[in-house]
């Protein structure tokens, strides 16, 4: 489980992290771990062809060969405050109004 660790900060940009970064990262890592598991299983099964004790141990715990490597995700800065989005939206509205007034004032003083 600790072979591959992914560290990310969701609070830096929660939209990009949730919609783009993490789905792509999880898909790539899942595909890589499945491929690695298949290759290592084929290699191990090729080496234990005549060993009955190894086959018996494999029958008792088949997950050790089918999924030997996994990954773990660590969110260093989780996004938990939904209140900040309202303040940001109001701030953007104020900036738009200020730019509109500024453009009108500059247009009036152009003459």
- Average pLDDT of the segment spanning 83-106: 84
Predicted local distance difference test score (pLDDT) of residue 94: 92
Do both 25 and 43 map to the same domain?
yes
- Residue 56 CA, chain-centre distance (Å), reads 38
Do both 35 and 68 map to the same domain?
yes
Do both 73 and 85 map to the same domain?
no
User: Residue 5 belongs to what H/E stretch?
Assistant: strand 4-8
Q: Is the pTM of this model over 0.85?
A: no
Give the confidence band of 7 by pLDDT, cuts at 50, 70, 90: very high
Predicted local distance difference test score (pLDDT) of residue 25: 95
Greater confidence (103 vs 86) lies with: 103
The torsion region of residue 55 among left (phi > 0), alpha (psi -120 to 50) and beta comes to alpha
Number of structural domains, the chain?
Answer: 2
Structural domain that includes position 97? 81-111
**How many CB atoms are closer than 10 A to CB 108?**
8
pLDDT tens by residue, 68-89: 888 999 999 888 766 667 777 8
Q: Using alpha carbons only, how large is the chain's radius of gyration in Å? A: 27
Do both 73 and 101 map to the same domain?
no
Do both 74 and 86 map to the same domain?
no
Query: 24 pLDDT exceeds 80?
Result: yes
**How many CB atoms are closer than 10 A to CB 65?**
16
Do both 62 and 103 map to the same domain?
no
Predicted local distance difference test score (pLDDT) of residue 72: 93
Do both 11 and 32 map to the same domain?
yes
Do both 74 and 90 map to the same domain?
no
């Amino acid at each position: 489980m600790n072979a591959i660790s992914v560290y990310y900060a969701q609070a830096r940009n929660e939209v990009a992290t949730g919609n783009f970064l993490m789905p792509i990262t999880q898909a790539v890592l899942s595909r890589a771990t499945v491929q690695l598991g298949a290759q290592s299983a084929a290699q191990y099964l090729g080496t234990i062809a005549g060993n009955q004790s190894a086959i018996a141990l494999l029958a008792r715990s088949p997950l050790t060969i089918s999924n030997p490597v996994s990954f773990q995700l660590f969110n260093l800065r989780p996004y938990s405050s939904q209140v900040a989005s309202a303040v940001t939206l109001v701030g953007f509205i104020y900036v738009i109004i200020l730019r509109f007034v500024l453009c009108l004032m500059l247009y009036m003083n152009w003459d």
